[in-house]
Structure 1
Amino acid sequence: MKRVYAFNFILLCLFTAVSAASPVKGLLERVSPGSSGKFIIEQVASASDFFELDQKGEKVVIRGNNPVSIATGINWYLKYHAGVHLSWNNMSAQLPAVLPAVPHKERHETASTFRYDFNYCTFSYTMAFWDWKRWEKEIDWMALHGINLSLALVGADAVWRNVLFKLGYSKEEANEFIAGPGFQAWWLMNNLEGWGGPNTDSWYESRIALQKKILKRMHEYGIQPILPGYSGMLPHNAREKLGVNVTDPGTWNGYNRPAFLQPTDERFQEIAELYYKEMNRLFGKADYYSMDPFHEGGKVAGVDLDAAGQAIWKAMKKNNPNATWVIQAWGANPRPQMIKNIPKGDLIVLDLYSESRPQWGDPESTWYRKNGFDGHQWLYCMLLNYGGNVGLHGKMQHVIDEYYKAAESPFGNSLKGVGITMEGTENNPVMYELLCELPWRPARFSKDEWLKGYVSARYGKFSPRLWEAWVLLGNSIYNCPARSTQQGTHESVFCARPSLKVYQVSSWSEMSDYYNPLEVIRAASMFVEEADRFKGNNNFEYDLIDVVRQAVAEKGRLIYKVVRAAYEARDPKLLKQASDRFLELLLAQDRLLATRPEFKVGSWIEQARSLGHTGAEKDWLEWNARVQITTWGNRHAANEGGLRDYAHREWNGLLKDFYYLRWKTWLDRLSQLPDEDPAASIDYYGLEEAWTLQHNTYPSAQEGDCVETAKIIFGKLN
């Protein structure tokens, strides 16, 4: 009998090793072909997530309790032992024949049950046009950074289309409700209907196929997907079409909002069941569902919020008794009355903006909740980026300190992990690297010391000069005041609609001058100094272009002030000189950003067009891509709604053909020294819409040498 037990134990260990090695081996081979044989992967049972780095002969041992923990250990080893930093701009590496040895066993463990990824908006502002090749890299990035819980919205439009068919809606009516690819986040958050559509049949089919691949890979890693659940959403005309009791949805920036089906309506559970059956049929059941009713101004008048919470929860639990509801804390949501009677353990609250407007119970917050989330589980999340805007920004030390403050507070018992909840991604990698490491570091630490390790990891070797540059950035542009509620980066003036009162670009940015722009320019000079030494290093060249880009934007803002002063002084000569200088800098920025595909509008448009099967479908997808990053909406939504430039991007191609046209038009009229600001007489939307309707080609490949171009452009700042 003992031999049988021993044999079974050996089989169990073998199965565990194989199950862990399979997704991890694939990851290693994608990162560096042929590298998986240089590692020994061991999966060991544990009550909490952990990873260990060890050594056996010439092979590095990565040990952990599941594939995500093991992948996190691989990333830690690569960063802090091999000097290899895998990032959005660089997800591959050439590892040495013999890996650097681990000098002594190193163990990291975390009490964080969940490490969460994504915001609804990320699926539109960044991922609207991703194919499987790009998604595969992202899921690898997630595993490497410890993510084990992730929003998974792809294909929700196909679920809804089929549900609407079963409710008696025609194909045309369904497409009037479902938003297009560039705007589905706001449709799913109950803000608008139909904008960006109608979607094609092939679009829906491709989304189903893509989501199945995404979910398969997530399950292989053990990353728990969060599927969109049913929250009571229906088309705004549901009362007339279905005869159900819905609230008057009103409008959002001029767009019809979806209706909210009253929880007391006898058809609520019926429609919810119909929805979940279709979701299950296409994608299977999930253990986590995301529902966010009443998002951003959704009307609650006349709604029994307790009954609403119970109806949403019961429908979810009927579909899967083991399911947990995941909800975003944003503004007044989640309404305390809606979640008060949800059983503890059945709800996870994402404190979406913990770094600036925490709701977990911090009395210093402008969104203070005395009772936090009333004992429900919650995650400390960093939003950081709004609209996918490009720019350096963060609260580096504050993010660190607030995490440990929250963990040590009376609300720490219900704190179950961290989340990155950016509206747009693929930028500002240093802040996401920092946030993802928090769960694996047991005590507070200094950002300056952490940056020393970051420099060595990111660039493959330590540079005192680059560390000095990063510390300077960490104490200036990455040191946004704790109380600031600024929505993301300090926006580039080049991207603003011109006027004599330009400050922020998007309508709600709440920007403030919290740092000295000359310090950013000085940090950029240090990067330029080190450029020859690190030439060819992918991560360095990305950062070089990004930091110099920020410096050029800072200089542009300073020159804009000269333009305004010259106009007010009625000095035509100075106005001409300052205007020419401003436009020169804007075009120099365009040339600088042409050297990296990450900063090119051509990359964004190419992604969109590549998903189309016909010329007409490609044009429609390109229109979605162009509109989202410029006007965002129709004339009313852009101007009166304030949505224009919300998702502005300081990108090559967009600077030269879109932002330059606006500034040149305004500066030409300003040069006549009119009594009033000429901005009022310019139809900016007319200029902007014309660009969204074009189909001229923008290159996506690198143009020019990064290092040499950065040197030339930076030299122009003096």
Structure 2
Amino acid sequence: MMRKFISIFFLISFVYGCQTESLPVDSLADRVTEGSSKNRILFQKITNQPDSLKDYFEISSKNGKVLITGNSDLSLSTGLNWYLKYIAGIHLSWNNPSQKLPKVLPLPQKTIRKETLMRDRYYLNYCTYSYSMAFWNWERWEKEIDWMAMHGINMPLSITGMEVVWYNLLKRIGYTTKEINEFISGPAFMAWWQMNNLEGWGGPNPDSWYQQQEALQKKIVTRMRELGIEPVFPGYAGMVPRNIGKKLGYQIADPGKWCGFHRPAFLSTEDEHFDSFATMYYEELEKLYGKAKYYSMDPFHEGGNTEGVDLAKAGTAIMKAMKKANPQAVWVLQAWQSNPQAAMINALESGDLLILDLYSEKNPQWGDPESIWYREKGFGKHDWLYCMLLNFGGNVGLHGRMEQLVNGYYNACKHANGKTLRGIGATPEGIENNPVMFELLYELPWREKQFSLDQWLQEYLKARYGNDLLPEVIEAWRALEHTVYNAPKNYQGEGTVESLLCARPRFHLDRTSTWGYAKLFYSPDSTAKAARLLLSVADQYKGNNNFEYDLVDVVRQSLTDKGNILLKKISQSYDQKDKGNYEKQTQQFLKLILTQDSLLSTRKEFSVSSWLNSARSLGTTEEEKKLYEWNASALITVWGDSIAANQGGLHDYSHREWSGIMKDLYYQRWKVFFEQKQAELEGSPVEQPNFYKMEKNWVEKSKTQTLEK
């Protein structure tokens, strides 16, 4: 009788969630469902699976409750997201990070099981930390880590607070605080300092910055590890301050310049100081944030000078220093342009290196013969990840390569070079855009067989907007799927079709940033059609956060496309000295910028004030607030000094189609330009505008507004 009672007790405890020990996913579920999941969604971790090489989750129901089982905390979190999307009709994304469950809990009609051999799921790019994350606080980071866990991400790049490692290291070898701040960049430019592209720009940082970032990173790393996420820390590959030769007598190489900036010096791996410096770096890193399983290092990024460097010895020495810090560690390396160079990695052991094929959806290096960066043998014996880059500079725009992303992934899996494929990754320069593409990417490992994109998109839309989809919504998204989300592989630019509303004014423009492109590869009628269809049913989706965000984004894109076409007509009118049409069309263009500004002001995600306020909020004094606001303003406009902006080509690289900057900078530039050219047509030429001066004035002028709650 007693045995029967105990069995019944354990059954009741299991069914009603009276677990002796709560799991990290319980707290995550509570956060993302705003407290509505308790005792309604149950989680069970089962680690003794016969096939331990696979990650898996199962979704079922029992006694009116949802039961999610899986082999790890991360698998359980991924299963939760799958349930929310495909059963509850709830899509959590950057614009909608949490949502209450319905009063009547939707239950799966049958058990859903998903499993994958792709055990590595990477996230982030050094640039993301500057273009999107530079001024995040813990509240924002907590939401992002939850998002990571629910998308199965288990190895994100983690560079917050790494400047503190360098601060402590340089103090240890005798640098003053002033000298350290001449080396470490300001908050918005940490990515390029970490990638050995520049020194000091945007600084000097106050002491409070280092204290703040250290505390923040410790929270981030603790939460990640609780959920089964292993952070990827920057390792040591030879970067040192340029003045270390004079300061300490090190023999260093000058790696040249990057976009007008002097790069930090490179300490040769054959130098007697390399091993001791690397050892100190890893010691200081471990003191602050612990050992890592993965370390990210990209020597000679974007044209770093390798003259006189024995690449094979360099690769071996970098690996040796990392393995000394943690013998089980893996070196994570970005495949971008000519890197990684074969000579540097050929001698390294298989399993010790994990290569990110950074731009797999357009210029893959894994072995696609149609790619401009084709490598016949891929990465040889080394493990690699299939990655989507998608966004450059944090630019705003609907963009993706759905078909190529999916087809490329399954082709890579079947290819001979796919035998060392270990997973997938997202490596965008900016996030909080195009959520559909991130959902598609992070589902790939969990879908064993290739699937219909049309069917997938319809299921995504049900998750995004709710199960009752109107035909107008489906038709609108079909138009987008086959245009903006089907960019050709040979499209000239990087990332989205750029908005010429944001460009430095000129006639016959074909881009806004130096490496971008603004010519449409589709008819502007397609985005206009999608906008009209969504607007026609907007009343029926009132209060639906996801729909209202997407509506603004799609209408914004249609106005952008209209502007790009209109500027072409203005250029022709000017060439033909058609003063009547020129005046009418330029007024239409200026009005379009103000209309765009007004539209974007309806969502905080599209407001420059959100970006600037987040920067100012981290300051503890007015002086600090101004420094952080300057960093935030400069990054999205001039980027660097006049040499970097104009000769280095960085101006407007990170342009943003956001309210506030549309009206206060982009509108003003175009207005002055059109007036100057109008005067030329009238035979009264005036002085040509100095756009860099206008941009610099905008950067230096305090402009922060308090957002309405």
Which position in structure 2 is the counterpart of 1:243? 249
Deviation per residue, 1:412-434 (Å, 9 max, x gap): 11000000000000011111111
Q: Which amino acid aligns with 1:655?
A: M
Task: Give 1:680 shift.
Answer: 9.1
Which position in structure 1 is the counterpart of 2:55? 49
Question: Alignment RMSD, CA only?
Answer: 2.0
Distance (whole Å) between structure 2 residues aligned to residue 173 and residue 477 of structure 1: 48
- SS where residue 681 of structure 1 aligns? coil
Please, what TM-score do these two structures have when normalized by structure 1? 0.94
Distance (whole Å) between structure 1 residues aligned to residue 546 and residue 242 of structure 2: 48
Return closer, same or farther for 1:512/1:569 CA change in 2, 3 Å cut-off.
closer
Aligned runs of 1:52-131 on 2, under 5 Å? 52-131=58-137
Distance (whole Å) between structure 2 residues aligned to residue 306 and residue 17 of structure 1: 57
Distance (whole Å) between structure 2 residues aligned to residue 494 and residue 415 of structure 1: 41
Q: Which amino acid aligns with 1:136?
A: E
C-alpha contact 1:356 1:485 (8 A) present in aligned 2: no
Q: Which amino acid aligns with 2:43?
A: I
Which position in structure 2 is the counterpart of 1:709? none
Answering whether residue 670 of structure 2 is matched by residue 663 of structure 1, we say yes
Distance (whole Å) between structure 2 residues aligned to residue 342 and residue 525 of structure 1: 56
Which position in structure 2 is the counterpart of 1:569? 576
Distance (whole Å) between structure 1 residues aligned to residue 337 and residue 566 of structure 2: 37
Which position in structure 1 is the counterpart of 2:374? 368
Q: Which amino acid aligns with 1:285?
A: K
Distance (whole Å) between structure 1 residues aligned to residue 675 and residue 223 of structure 2: 54
Which position in structure 2 is the counterpart of 1:24? 25
- SS where residue 355 of structure 2 aligns? strand
Return closer, same or farther for 1:699/1:589 CA change in 2, 3 Å cut-off.
farther
Deviation per residue, 1:316-365 (Å, 9 max, x gap): 00011111100101111111111111111011000000011111111111
Which position in structure 2 is the counterpart of 1:301? 307
Aligned runs of 1:417-566 on 2, under 5 Å? 417-461=423-467, 462-484=469-491, 486-566=493-573
- SS where residue 55 of structure 1 aligns? strand
Which position in structure 1 is the counterpart of 2:41? 39
C-alpha contact 2:483 2:522 (8 A) present in aligned 1: yes
Which position in structure 2 is the counterpart of 1:217? 223
Which position in structure 2 is the counterpart of 1:713? none
Answering whether residue 322 of structure 2 is matched by residue 312 of structure 1, we say no
Task: Give 1:527 shift.
Answer: 0.7
Deviation per residue, 1:176-226 (Å, 9 max, x gap): 110111001001001111101101100000010000000000000010110
C-alpha contact 1:493 1:505 (8 A) present in aligned 2: yes
C-alpha contact 1:247 1:302 (8 A) present in aligned 2: no
Which position in structure 2 is the counterpart of 1:612? 619
Distance (whole Å) between structure 2 residues aligned to residue 562 and residue 467 of structure 1: 33
Distance (whole Å) between structure 1 residues aligned to residue 334 and residue 644 of structure 2: 25
Return closer, same or farther for 1:534/1:204 CA change in 2, 3 Å cut-off.
same
Question: Which is further off, 619-628 or 469-478?
Answer: 469-478
- SS where residue 532 of structure 1 aligns? helix
Identity, in percent, stands at 51
- SS where residue 37 of structure 1 aligns? coil
Distance (whole Å) between structure 2 residues aligned to residue 458 and residue 485 of structure 1: 31
Deviation per residue, 1:661-704 (Å, 9 max, x gap): 100010111112359998993211001000000112334347xx
- Unpaired runs of 5+ in structure 2? none
C-alpha contact 2:255 2:306 (8 A) present in aligned 1: no
- Unpaired runs of 5+ in structure 1? 703-718
Q: Which amino acid aligns with 2:277?
A: I
Distance (whole Å) between structure 2 residues aligned to residue 209 and residue 579 of structure 1: 51
Which position in structure 2 is the counterpart of 1:415? 421
- SS where residue 282 of structure 1 aligns? helix
Which position in structure 2 is the counterpart of 1:650? 657
Distance (whole Å) between structure 1 residues aligned to residue 71 and residue 684 of structure 2: 64
C-alpha contact 1:499 1:678 (8 A) present in aligned 2: no
Task: Give 1:514 shift.
Answer: 1.5
- SS where residue 419 of structure 1 aligns? strand
Answering whether residue 591 of structure 2 is matched by residue 590 of structure 1, we say no
Answering whether residue 168 of structure 2 is matched by residue 146 of structure 1, we say no
Distance (whole Å) between structure 1 residues aligned to residue 70 and residue 475 of structure 2: 35
Which position in structure 2 is the counterpart of 1:400? 406
- SS where residue 210 of structure 2 aligns? helix
Which position in structure 1 is the counterpart of 2:364? 358
Task: Give 1:510 shift.
Answer: 4.4
Which position in structure 2 is the counterpart of 1:391? 397
Which position in structure 2 is the counterpart of 1:202? 208
Return closer, same or farther for 1:20/1:294 CA change in 2, 3 Å cut-off.
farther
Deviation per residue, 1:108-138 (Å, 9 max, x gap): 0011010110000000000000000000000
Task: Give 1:443 shift.
Answer: 1.2
Distance (whole Å) between structure 1 residues aligned to residue 687 and residue 645 of structure 2: 15
Q: Which amino acid aligns with 2:412?
A: A
Distance (whole Å) between structure 2 residues aligned to residue 360 and residue 380 of structure 1: 8
Distance (whole Å) between structure 2 residues aligned to residue 568 and residue 123 of structure 1: 43
C-alpha contact 1:397 1:446 (8 A) present in aligned 2: no
Return closer, same or farther for 1:363/1:542 CA change in 2, 3 Å cut-off.
same
Distance (whole Å) between structure 1 residues aligned to residue 95 and residue 253 of structure 2: 45
Distance (whole Å) between structure 1 residues aligned to residue 705 and residue 441 of structure 2: 35
Distance (whole Å) between structure 2 residues aligned to residue 671 and residue 111 of structure 1: 63
Distance (whole Å) between structure 2 residues aligned to residue 130 and residue 513 of structure 1: 34
Q: Which amino acid aligns with 1:458?
A: R
C-alpha contact 2:185 2:201 (8 A) present in aligned 1: yes
Distance (whole Å) between structure 2 residues aligned to residue 679 and residue 303 of structure 1: 53
Q: Which amino acid aligns with 2:293?
A: D
Q: Which amino acid aligns with 2:402?
A: M
- SS where residue 484 of structure 1 aligns? coil
- SS where residue 350 of structure 1 aligns? strand
Deviation per residue, 1:545-593 (Å, 9 max, x gap): 0000001111111221221122112121211111111100100000000
Deviation per residue, 1:514-559 (Å, 9 max, x gap): 1111111111111101101101100000000000000111111122
C-alpha contact 1:629 1:649 (8 A) present in aligned 2: yes
Out of 136, 143, 148, the position equivalent to 2:142 is 136
Return closer, same or farther for 1:676/1:252 CA change in 2, 3 Å cut-off.
farther
Answering whether residue 189 of structure 2 is matched by residue 183 of structure 1, we say yes
Q: Which amino acid aligns with 2:39?
A: G
Deviation per residue, 1:621-669 (Å, 9 max, x gap): 0000000001111111000110000000000000000101100010111
Please, what TM-score do these two structures have when normalized by structure 2? 0.95
Aligned runs of 1:622-701 on 2, under 5 Å? 622-674=629-681, 681-701=688-708
Return closer, same or farther for 1:187/1:679 CA change in 2, 3 Å cut-off.
farther
C-alpha contact 2:95 2:549 (8 A) present in aligned 1: yes
Distance (whole Å) between structure 2 residues aligned to residue 538 and residue 35 of structure 1: 20
Return closer, same or farther for 1:473/1:247 CA change in 2, 3 Å cut-off.
same
Return closer, same or farther for 1:677/1:289 CA change in 2, 3 Å cut-off.
farther
Task: Give 1:36 shift.
Answer: 2.5
